[in-house]
Amino acid sequence: MKLVEPPSCSSPSTVVFIGRNHRGQWVAQQQNGLYGGLFVNRAQAIKYALFENGQHPETIIELPREIELDMGRKPDAAAPKRAA
């Protein structure tokens, strides 16, 4: 019998990062930069992330550091860079 991982585990492109930017606004950004937005509160950022990623809460990662919305990023730029 072949074991198959659920789509949320095998498709890293569905990961959505949420967190606050330097102005305190909430940001939701898909890992590869395909979609994202600014929100007034955490609940709205999560609601958006769930809508965009097909209702997979396990693929939403809340970042403890600042995250800036970057809609000019190319899709192959992947995840936000870590601070040194």
Asked if pLDDT for residue 79 goes beyond 80, the answer is no
Distance CA(70)–CA(81), nearest Å, equals 12
Count of C-beta atoms within a 10 Å radius of residue 40: 10
The per-residue pLDDT for range 29-72, each reduced to its tens digit, is 999 889 999 999 999 999 999 999 999 999 999 999 999 999 87
16 within 8 A of 61, measured Cβ to Cβ = yes
Task: Please give the residue that has the higher pLDDT: either 73 or 64.
Answer: 64
Provide the pLDDT for residue 10. Answer: 43
Provide the pLDDT for residue 74. Answer: 64
Provide the pLDDT for residue 7. Answer: 47
